[in-house]
Chains A and B, each alone.
Chain A
């Protein structure tokens, strides 16, 4: 059955992606839920939450709130929490509950802005989509709301779009990405959401270029290109050392790389650097942009489809989060290179043994 998971557990959902994208910008984030979604996001999908206090709240919806659609009550609570807090904006993130009762997020945004006198962002996540969709929506909304001024271009500045722990499983991934990009001669790297804050978002138009490091950052990059003419390129400038070290051994093998598409493509490029004749396919459970796919690349639609693709693909090696191992056919053996993907397993690189 397509929608049945018998081996794996669900991946990070869209509301987690939205929170992850907005986590580091000094706003008040309200998850429009009854408590469970917030518990999942904070307790599992946002590793930064464990190391510093953050303004992430649950709306604490109860059945009558959902039945009666008490948006005014939610906004009043939001205002009360914002008052005197020094927080710079509010963000309201959807979950299955508002999806079912068809909450009007545009109205919520207007109400929140009017009541607090500060910008508000809304992301109508539903809990049925993956994290990258929510992150993509949140990034786009963030830049639409705050990057409104056309500034002079600083030729030494580059922006990084799409970085979050869900895609780059290290708390210092922002630094790692920035350091790798600086090696290309950039003086200033603005890794939005992992180092660069709200003031940098407001000055996004001054970047000479944007680098999109995951599919979640692509919509925002296209928006910035359309609005300010900022060009962008899609590439992953950093891969974990332990992954890079293992790739030479895959030369000549038929390899499947499973991760977020941009990182997976970077892994493929690395393998091909060692042996251009190697056969490497890329697959992802998440967004697969057609323009960055090669022949035989594929989107994984379900656990059942994953098992079938791996069983029949004739692969010798798989580069993936090793949590996927539980769903691999037991009758076959594969050379598994562990490339943790937090959105899949909730593992950070430094937790990998």
Chain B
């Protein structure tokens, strides 16, 4: 192994979904850690890992119950003033790991944490890790006991990295955790929740306008809830809009517990598919959305970019607010070229690989996690523009956009914003939007 493994879209599509080469499967090799993979390869690492996500409940604090190593990088999160005072740690030692005796200390620790806070927390999120996964800890029971003892809601958050590719990966599980405190309320027909992200959609997202035009008065996202009472109002929603499939499990739980049905929408960059999705949403909720002006705006942004910068060749990464394969397909369908995609091929996006293969068979696909990426050398790459923080890492000299802001792009507004940012990056020279 002395070069980075890659495969063309045509070769991969020809092999089929059931014959993905082992070099692209993270379970088949060691996992390379590069700055390109840090954000998404660790459930506790940068961005919204389990720890930060668990604090999405307004007014909550988190008690990490784990060996000290699991809380180490929380120091970085704690640098943010808003979070600094919301993390607490109950550290396990070797004896705890062997005997599980730490479980008996949790209720007292929760009480001590609550007593030490200037404002009593709305809830205590208990974050547990691989250790308790292997010990088979019944944390629901421990949390009930702690809740009774400390007089505050206590909720488990499972940061089980070991189960990342299982039925309930950490980022799926934590979404269920953060909505689990919602208590039944009378339904309000004009109220809707948006589930999926831990930070809000961009303010200019047309989804807000379209929903309001359809008669929706209250659109709630957990990240926009000012306090615990506002958060509890999410229980009155008529339906949930699920914008990230990792929230599917949480939505199913809310349907079961609170009777709130859900509709799932995907984040897409192909404008015709966005239009189709809004049409289907309209049918589902009994409304007709006038999305044409927004579509026109997004498509105009693409035309403007193309008129200014001509035919560009992109490298697209996966550390960004998009599915890299869907975004690449969108770029190709809009007349651009995509020479490289750094992404994880799976069941949900293989369909895009097939479509890319038909339009751009020579597009090369790399796995960020392959050990061979240690030898990646972009000197021969054909790209001249990059999208995604990881792609920027591989091509530091090329202009591009990280496209991983916390405010989430969605719909036509997301498409327009992407091309606006690309426009700025290329106008201002490399690094303008980094």
Q: Given that A62-B164, A96-B69, A101-B134 are known contacts, is A36 also in contact with B112, CB under 8 Å in the complex?
A: no
Cβ of B302 within 8 Å of any chain A Cβ, yes or no, is no
Cβ of B71 within 8 Å of any chain A Cβ, yes or no, is yes
- What residue in chain A is nearest B135 (Cβ atoms)? A100
* Residue contact B94 to A126, C-beta cutoff 8 Å: yes
- Name the interface residues of B349-372: CB closer than 8 Å to any CB of A: 369, 371
* Residue contact A128 to B113, C-beta cutoff 8 Å: no
Cβ of A86 within 8 Å of any chain B Cβ, yes or no, is yes
Chain B residue numbers with a CB within 8 Å of A127 are 67-70
Partner of A6, one of B34, B88, B166: B88
A36-63: contact bitstring with B at CB < 8 Å (1 yes, 0 no)?
1111101111000110010111111111
Report the count of interface residues on B (CB-CB < 8 A). Answer: 65
Q: Given that A9-B89, A36-B130, A77-B29 are known contacts, is A99 also in contact with B97, CB under 8 Å in the complex?
A: yes
Q: Which of A16, A30, A100 has the most CB of B within 10 A?
A: A100
With contacts defined as CB atoms under 8 Å apart, how many contacts are there between chain A and chain B in the complex?
Answer: 212
Q: Given that A81-B30, A99-B97, A128-B67 are known contacts, is A43 also in contact with B105, CB under 8 Å in the complex?
A: no
A270 to B171, CA, bound (A): 50
- Name the interface residues of B64-97: CB closer than 8 Å to any CB of A: 66-76, 78, 84, 87-94, 97
* Residue contact A1 to B109, C-beta cutoff 8 Å: yes
* Residue contact A4 to B72, C-beta cutoff 8 Å: no
Cβ of A5 within 8 Å of any chain B Cβ, yes or no, is yes
List chain A positions with a Cβ less than 8 A from chain B: 1, 3-6, 9-16, 30, 33-40, 42-45, 49-50, 53, 55-63, 65-67, 77-78, 80-86, 95-97, 99-101, 126-128, 130, 323, 326, 345-346
* Residue contact B76 to A346, C-beta cutoff 8 Å: yes
Chain A residue numbers with a CB within 8 Å of B285 are none
Chain A residue numbers with a CB within 8 Å of B42 are 35-36, 38-40, 43
Partner of B91, one of A3, A34, A45, A99: A3
Q: Which of A30, A33, A323 has the most CB of B within 10 A?
A: A33
Q: Nearest-CB distance from B308 to chain A (Å)? A: 34
B147-177: contact bitstring with A at CB < 8 Å (1 yes, 0 no)?
0000000000001111111100000000000
A55 to B374, CA, bound (A): 7
Chain B residue numbers with a CB within 8 Å of A60 are 26-27, 29-31, 369
Partner of B68, one of A13, A81, A85: A13
* Residue contact A40 to B45, C-beta cutoff 8 Å: yes
A38 to B130, CA, bound (A): 13
Partner of A77, one of B2, B30, B33, B38: B30
A62 to B26, CA, bound (A): 11
Q: Nearest-CB distance from B167 to chain A (Å)? A: 11
A49 to B38, CA, bound (A): 11
A63 to B163, CA, bound (A): 6
* Residue contact A128 to B92, C-beta cutoff 8 Å: yes
Chain A residue numbers with a CB within 8 Å of B90 are 1, 3-5
Q: Given that A42-B33, A53-B374, A60-B30 are known contacts, is A6 also in contact with B162, CB under 8 Å in the complex?
A: no
A126 to B75, CA, bound (A): 20
22 CB < 8 A contacts A-B: A10-B72, A34-B162, A35-B161, A35-B164, A40-B70, A49-B35, A53-B34, A55-B374, A59-B30, A60-B26, A60-B31, A60-B369, A78-B30, A84-B1, A96-B70, A97-B162, A100-B131, A100-B134, A126-B94, A127-B68, A128-B97, A326-B84
Q: Nearest-CB distance from A115 to chain B (Å)? A: 13
A6 to B94, CA, bound (A): 21
* Residue contact A58 to B72, C-beta cutoff 8 Å: no
* Residue contact A50 to B33, C-beta cutoff 8 Å: no
Q: Nearest-CB distance from B360 to chain A (Å)? A: 29
Q: Nearest-CB distance from B377 to chain A (Å)? A: 10
If A36-B45, A39-B41, A126-B94 are given as contacts, then 15 extra A-B residue pairs at C-beta distance below 8 Å, sorted by A number, are A1-B90, A3-B102, A5-B89, A9-B72, A10-B91, A12-B72, A14-B69, A36-B161, A43-B46, A57-B31, A62-B164, A96-B130, A127-B68, A127-B70, A346-B76
- What residue in chain B is nearest A50 (Cβ atoms)? B35
A97 to B66, CA, bound (A): 12
Cβ of B129 within 8 Å of any chain A Cβ, yes or no, is yes
Chain B residue numbers with a CB within 8 Å of A15 are 69
- What residue in chain A is nearest B376 (Cβ atoms)? A53
Q: Given that A57-B32, A58-B33, A80-B1 are known contacts, is A34 also in contact with B161, CB under 8 Å in the complex?
A: yes
